A and B are shown apart, each in its own frame.
Chain A
Amino acid sequence: MSTTVLGTRTGTRRIPSRRVSRLTDLAARWGFVTPAAILLIATLAYPIGYTLYISFAAINLGTFSPDEWVGWDNYLTVFEDDRFWDSLWVTFVYLVFALPLQMFLGFLSAFLINADWKGRGVVRAAFIIPMVIAPVIAGGIWRMLLDPLWGIANYLLGIVGLGPIEWLADPFWAMFTIILIDTWRWTPFITLIASAALLSLPRDVFEAAAIDGANWWTTLWRVAMPLLVPVIAATFVVRWLGAVKMFDIALAATHGGPGRATSVVNLFIYEEAFRSLKFAESAAMSLIVLVITMVLTAIFLRGTRMLEERN
């Protein structure tokens, strides 16, 4: 019976016109895209749109909603606030030191764990641990480790005649600590990406380099690095986007102090929004940071493309 039906269907089927085919194709594409688009609009476009809206409004704390259009007032207030500029500077310092350090250590670790040595599987697995610990817990644990009274860090330094260091109470060391914790957390992420990239590199190129008598440095610098440039650039952009929004570690470890030494911009925005309930000004600050981030990201992406084209 089924054969008959099939035969009948086959017999009566018409070749669809190009127009119908195109429409079907379009519908299928939109069918796949629509759920994701709706999700994105709900979770991204709407909040950004609302943030933009309240950044030009005054929030009535009685109704907890925007009730007056104030134009650029919130932005002017933010631009006049020295604490905002301080927090941008602190974020800049943190990024300038943390990102290159994490990139360097991440790729270095990847080279090391990709070499053939016993126990590298265990090390590779252990690398994931910092990434799965909640940042607030990580900050708290590091706070205990670095405590001058009962922390192990100063105890160990004391054994070799160093310290004590006021890790969290001195502005320099507090920033050092934030960079240290962030590097401990995120270097494994870079290592994992770099490790996968290294494994995907074509073996024949390395074999050719070996036949040509290249030593390990030449192989690394002249062969591996050029091949890895796109991965390094992409990793940098991904990590940059993650690092620029960091605030949880600063919140847990130093509360942004001492003074304003570790008050990164997102911590400052968080405090202004959720402690002072200055949602309108915080929205303005968030959008300023968003614009800065987008501009810098565009520059990085352009640079990445240029590097890829050069190679």
Chain B
Amino acid sequence: MTQATRISTGTSRRRLLGTALALPAVMLGRTAQGQAGGGLGTAESPISIRMLANSSYSNLWQSAMVPEFNKHFPHIKVQIDGVPYNEQLAKTMLDLTGAKPTYDFYTVDDPWVPQVAQTGHLLDLKKDAAAWTAADFDWNDFNSAPLAASEWKGGQFGVPVRSNMLLMFYNRTHFSKAGLPAPTPKLTWTEFRAQMPKLVQNLGGSGPANAWAISTYFTRDTLTPTIWQAILNAHGGELVDGNGKPIFANDVGQLALQTHIDLLQWAPPGAKAHGFTESLQAFRQGQTAVMFQWGSVFRGTAVDTGSTTLKTEEVGIQVMPVGSARAGTHRGIWNGCVSAKTPNQRAAWAFWQWLSSRQGEAFASDVVGSFPARKSTLASNPASAWLKPVFTTLQEAYEVAAAGRMWRPRSAKSDQAQQILADETARAFSGDVKVAEALDSASRKIARLRL
């Protein structure tokens, strides 16, 4: 049973192939049950697997993704339980380290992988699951940046299943009303700073401002520092060196944080309290010209009329502005991981294999709005036209991220460092301390963690 045989373009052909594939799967399931890793289930004895995933997409996956998966693997019943982001890491760790874990597989966020992998209870997919990996499952087809999100100490503990990169969204109408050209990926921070005052405007032509230049994270939140980290990386800076020692409390770090703080001058009133929801809401309601946000929100921002006031052609997407070194972005990949404790390793890996295959990625992009990590998928012609600029931007973002190592520290204490950064930079945003003081304090505290 190979991934290649599952390649299909039409629904009827896919169904036919699904049925054809089910046969060897059933046979393999019969023979493999009782063996290490379990099987793929049979009509008489289906396998049930349970996934712990983030609640922001778990329901959609359950209703849209699982039925599609079951066309290929009809005897694997998948139940997906959603959990809020802030509780997910703790719940994953507790479950995985428990005597009898409830879950067979997990979605693990980018910075959590080292910590979760360190438990020793995740399957090394390239090694432990090699026997159940389809011959044409091409690991080299993944972009290096998203694939590296689930690497830890030489092991491959996951596969990218929902790629997310910090990107620049812009509203073409705002730029044209301000008499400015639409941004391009070559837009520099200097140019963008010069444009921002003009983007604070009244869209009706006169009267007080009812549109502002920028919306993004400013509130005290662990995701807020990702913005200045992207600016830091764009200017060639890094958070930590190869030994995990903080190296951001310097001129480049100060420039980056000050740039982030300065954005408040051209942000809507009250933006200092804005996080994910508020910044998204402001942009979707046409109140801001630019938004620095995760790429995964594109569908809900530019396509789904139920959640946005904007039209698809109105919304542009690209990497964040160029600094002195390169453009900016920040990696945030959801990885599909399999518990080493589950007897259903093979079935769980079958799900992730399907989802991260080219067919799975194409389906997820088009129907669910989860974005791909494979070079071949990103180079292909997507089923929906709105995906084309997204694919182009994602490919560019992956390359930029890889070049600038634009991700959070690869350490089991990554979240602790991020919490410190959130605390300290929040003090600079509120004006309690100067930028240099906030960075020095954060650097000292992170150094004590010994990442």
Q: How far is the CB of B116 from chain A (nearest CB, A)?
A: 9
Q: List 6 A-B contacts (CB under 8 A).
A: A63-B119, A65-B97, A169-B270, A169-B271, A256-B220, A258-B426
Which A residues are in CB contact (< 8 Å) with B416?
276-278
Q: How far is the CB of A75 from chain B (nearest CB, A)?
A: 16
Bound complex: CA A179 to CA B400 (Å): 45
Would A277 and B93 count as touching, CB distance under 8 A?
Answer: yes
Stretch at the interface among A34-42, A110-118, A226-234, A267-275: A267-275
Does A16 interact with chain B (Cβ within 8 Å)? no
Q: How far is the CB of A284 from chain B (nearest CB, A)?
A: 16
Does B262 interact with chain A (Cβ within 8 Å)? no
Stretch at the interface among A123-131, A160-168, A216-224: A160-168
Does A259 interact with chain B (Cβ within 8 Å)? yes
Does A66 interact with chain B (Cβ within 8 Å)? no
Cβ-Cβ contact count across A and B, 8 Å cutoff: 101
Would A275 and B419 count as touching, CB distance under 8 A?
Answer: yes
Bound complex: CA A83 to CA B412 (Å): 22
* Given A64-B119, A258-B220, A277-B89, A147 and B415 contact (CB-CB distance below 8 Å): no
Partner of B426, one of A65, A168, A259: A259
Would B432 and A259 count as touching, CB distance under 8 A?
Answer: yes
Which B residues are in CB contact (< 8 Å) with A148?
268-270
B237-279 at interface with A (beta carbon < 8 Å)? 268-273, 275, 278
Partner of B278, one of A83, A147, A258, A274: A147
Partner of A257, one of B86, B268, B273: B273
Question: Which B residues form the contact surface with A (CB < 8 A)?
Answer: 86-87, 89-90, 93-94, 97, 115, 118-120, 219-222, 268-273, 275, 278, 282, 285, 287, 412, 415-416, 419, 423, 426-427, 429-432
Which B residues are in CB contact (< 8 Å) with A210?
none
Which A residues are in CB contact (< 8 Å) with B221?
255
Which B residues are in CB contact (< 8 Å) with A83?
423
Does A93 interact with chain B (Cβ within 8 Å)? no
Would B97 and A63 count as touching, CB distance under 8 A?
Answer: yes
Q: 12 more A-B contacts (CB under 8 A) besides A63-B97, A171-B432, A257-B219?
A: A61-B115, A64-B93, A83-B423, A166-B272, A168-B272, A169-B270, A169-B271, A255-B219, A255-B221, A257-B272, A259-B429, A259-B431
Which A residues are in CB contact (< 8 Å) with B429?
257-259
Partner of B270, one of A61, A62, A168, A272: A168
Partner of A166, one of B120, B270, B423, B431: B270
Q: How far is the CB of B221 from chain A (nearest CB, A)?
A: 6
Which B residues are in CB contact (< 8 Å) with A150?
285
* Given A149-B287, A275-B222, A62 and B269 contact (CB-CB distance below 8 Å): no
Would B270 and A258 count as touching, CB distance under 8 A?
Answer: no
Does A261 interact with chain B (Cβ within 8 Å)? yes
Which A residues are in CB contact (< 8 Å) with B119?
61-64
Does A260 interact with chain B (Cβ within 8 Å)? yes
Partner of A260, one of B97, B120, B427: B427
Interface of chain A: mostly helix, strand, loop or mixed: loop
Would B118 and A167 count as touching, CB distance under 8 A?
Answer: no
Bound complex: CA A271 to CA B275 (Å): 17
Bound complex: CA A168 to CA B272 (Å): 8
Does A254 interact with chain B (Cβ within 8 Å)? yes
Which B residues are in CB contact (< 8 Å) with A174?
273
Which B residues are in CB contact (< 8 Å) with A62?
97, 118-120
Which A residues are in CB contact (< 8 Å) with B86?
274-275
Bound complex: CA A259 to CA B282 (Å): 22
Interface readout for A156-183 with B: 1 if CB under 8 Å, 0 if not? 0000000010111111001000000000
A242-261 at interface with B (beta carbon < 8 Å)? 254-261
The residue among A164, A274, A277 with the most chain B CB atoms within 10 A of its own CB is A277
Bound complex: CA A275 to CA B270 (Å): 26
Bound complex: CA A249 to CA B220 (Å): 15
Bound complex: CA A258 to CA B222 (Å): 13
Q: How far is the CB of B451 from chain A (nearest CB, A)?
A: 13
> What 4 A-B pairs come out closest when comparing CB atoms?
A259-B430, A257-B220, A148-B270, A169-B272
Would A272 and B273 count as touching, CB distance under 8 A?
Answer: no
Which A-chain residue is minimally distant from B89 (CB atoms)? A277
Would B270 and A259 count as touching, CB distance under 8 A?
Answer: no
Would B219 and A276 count as touching, CB distance under 8 A?
Answer: no
Q: How far is the CB of B112 from chain A (nearest CB, A)?
A: 10
Would A64 and B269 count as touching, CB distance under 8 A?
Answer: no
Q: How far is the CB of B412 from chain A (nearest CB, A)?
A: 6
A53-82 at interface with B (beta carbon < 8 Å)? 61-65
Bound complex: CA A167 to CA B272 (Å): 10
Which B-chain residue is minimally distant from A151 (CB atoms)? B270
Would A258 and B430 count as touching, CB distance under 8 A?
Answer: yes
Bound complex: CA A257 to CA B217 (Å): 13
Partner of A275, one of B120, B268, B415: B415
* Given A62-B120, A169-B273, A260-B432, A255 and B415 contact (CB-CB distance below 8 Å): no
Would A276 and B273 count as touching, CB distance under 8 A?
Answer: no
* Given A61-B93, A65-B97, A164-B269, A261 and B415 contact (CB-CB distance below 8 Å): no
Interface readout for A270-300 with B: 1 if CB under 8 Å, 0 if not? 0110111110000000000000000000000
Would A166 and B269 count as touching, CB distance under 8 A?
Answer: yes
* Given A272-B419, A276-B419, A64 and B97 contact (CB-CB distance below 8 Å): yes
Which B-chain residue is minimally distant from A251 (CB atoms)? B86
Q: How far is the CB of B381 from chain A (nearest CB, A)?
A: 39
Which B residues are in CB contact (< 8 Å) with A260?
220, 423, 426-427, 430, 432
Which A residues are in CB contact (< 8 Å) with B273?
166, 168-169, 174, 254, 257-258
Bound complex: CA A257 to CA B275 (Å): 11
Which B residues are in CB contact (< 8 Å) with A275?
86, 89, 222, 415, 419
* Given A148-B269, A149-B287, A166-B272, A259 and B412 contact (CB-CB distance below 8 Å): no
Bound complex: CA A127 to CA B431 (Å): 39
Bound complex: CA A65 to CA B89 (Å): 15
